[in-house]
């Protein structure tokens, strides 16, 4: 979460201590019996999902992983109010992974930086997490040294120059403090303890460890901005360790984005409670389980795309048509019109209309309801129609 404002006054005495102020910090505890059934179910679903994906074959697995990682980058940024361009994110990931997907677009520096962090966390999940690695992630998130219009300290732990690090909401003068992080003087020591634990070996279930790592890091809040995104990257890194695979087939951030209010609420209540984090881990496991549902949607989309191209394998199509058909198969946002075709395909309106007319005559595209200047088009797949709306 972003520090929206530095409040110089101390918190009122009637607010309970935050967990990082407790003498036992960071000795988290939880009820193993309460979590046992949920954890077993999540691990079973995780294993089944990985097994199904492994059976798909190399190309389909790569396609599913690309779609998942694209969602992960987009949604983790959306949680913090940052909207990235889907095509740029997808192109950046594909280029970095050496995937030939067609229709690659130029990418902005901010997109490249976010993708770089996410791929380092998941593709290099087996490497040790260090302060220097985290500094690199943070510098990648803020390549200009600014968060919006505000200059921030980049690639280093935060300080308290502007006052305590607080997560707040509400208008100026009526701010509500959701959380206040440890004083900056403590950050280096707290982070060293976290890194020693994260890199250490033990008997802790790796999925439980992902949930604890997420909470622990975001509670320390070691940077001026970007803490939420980095916490989710760390959780993804640990989930990749739990599967011993860099390929991602579900997006925890996409699910958290759907449940953003609940996510913030459980974080706030946990950070204002005691060191029993059973409620947080229960929510984390349930959210992860629901993320597996999203993986089913990704899988069905990948299979639908594969069936489509198998059906049209003998069709003679130009590169623009292939690119646009793939865009439709992957979930085109809004309505596809001839003007959008021309813009995306970088061609004249007449060329776009000829491309579309050709596909209409072949029965690959159909006109949507309506006409005239509002004419839009959808894929015509009798077995699995893809609507563009």
Cβ partners under 8 Å of residue 118, min gap 6: 69, 72, 73, 76, 233, 236
CA 63 to chain centre: 17
Burial of 1 (0-12, 13-18, 19+ CB in 10 A): buried
Nearest of 196, 226, 194 to residue 212 by alpha carbon: 194
Q: In 30-63, which positions are buried (b, 16+ CB within 10 angstroms) versus exposed (e)? A: beeeebeebbeebbebbeebbeebeebeeebbbb
Given a contact cutoff of 8 angstroms between Cβ atoms, the answer to whether 271 and 219 are in contact is yes
Nearest of 377, 368, 361, 370 to residue 325 by alpha carbon: 377
Given a contact cutoff of 8 angstroms between Cβ atoms, the answer to whether 215 and 277 are in contact is yes
Q: Which of 20, 138, 214, 221 is catalytic?
A: 221
**Greatest pairwise CA separation for the chain in angstroms:** 74
Is 32 one of the annotated active-site residues of the chain? no
Q: Which residues are annotated as a binding site for ATP?
A: 225-232, 263-264
Q: Which residues are annotated as a binding site?
A: 225-232, 263-264
Query: Cα-flanking dihedrals φ and ψ of residue 240, to 5°?
Result: -65, -40
Catalytic residues: 221
């Amino acid at each position: 979460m972003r520090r929206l404002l530095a409040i110089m006054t101390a918190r009122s005495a009637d607010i309970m201590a935050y967990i990082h102020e407790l003498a036992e910090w960071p000795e988290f505890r939880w009820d193993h019996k309460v979590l046992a059934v949920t954890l077993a179910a999540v691990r079973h679903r995780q294993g089944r999902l990985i097994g199904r994906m492994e059976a798909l074959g190399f190309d389909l697995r790569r396609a599913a992983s690309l779609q998942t990682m694209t969602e992960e980058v987009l949604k983790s940024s959306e949680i913090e109010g940052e909207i990235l361009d889907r095509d740029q994110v997808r192109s950046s990931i594909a280029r970095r992974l050496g995937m030939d997907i067609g229709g690659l677009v130029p990418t902005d520096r901010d997109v490249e930086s976010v993708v770089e962090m996410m791929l380092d966390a998941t593709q290099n999940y087996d490497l040790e997490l260090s302060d220097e690695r985290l500094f690199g992630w943070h510098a990648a998130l803020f390549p200009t040294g600014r968060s919006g219009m505000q200059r921030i300290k980049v690639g280093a732990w935060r300080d308290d120059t502007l006052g305590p690090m607080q997560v707040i909401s509400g208008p100026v003068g009526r701010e509500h403090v959701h959380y206040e992080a440890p004083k900056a003087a403590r950050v280096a020591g707290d982070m060293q303890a976290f890194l020693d634990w994260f890199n250490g070996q033990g008997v802790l279930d790796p999925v439980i460890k992902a949930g604890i790592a997420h909470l622990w890091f975001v509670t320390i809040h070691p940077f001026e901005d970007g803490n939420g995104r980095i916490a989710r990257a760390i959780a993804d890194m640990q989930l990749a360790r739990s599967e011993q695979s860099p390929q991602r087939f579900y997006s925890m951030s996409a699910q958290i984005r759907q449940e953003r209010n609940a996510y913030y609420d459980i974080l706030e209540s946990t950070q204002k409670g005691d060191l029993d984090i059973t409620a947080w881990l229960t929510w984390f496991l349930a959210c992860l389980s629901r993320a597996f549902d999203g993986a089913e949607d990704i899988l069905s989309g990948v299979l639908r795309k594969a069936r489509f191209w198998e059906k049209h394998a003998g069709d003679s199509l130009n590169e623009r048509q292939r690119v646009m058909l793939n865009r439709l198969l992957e979930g085109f946002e809004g309505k596809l019109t001839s003007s959008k075709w021309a813009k995306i395909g970088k061609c004249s309106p007449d060329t776009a209309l000829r491309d579309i007319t050709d596909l209409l005559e072949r029965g690959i595209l159909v006109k949507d309801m309506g006409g005239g200047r509002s004419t839009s088009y959808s894929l015509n797949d009798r077995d699995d129609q893809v609507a563009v709306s």
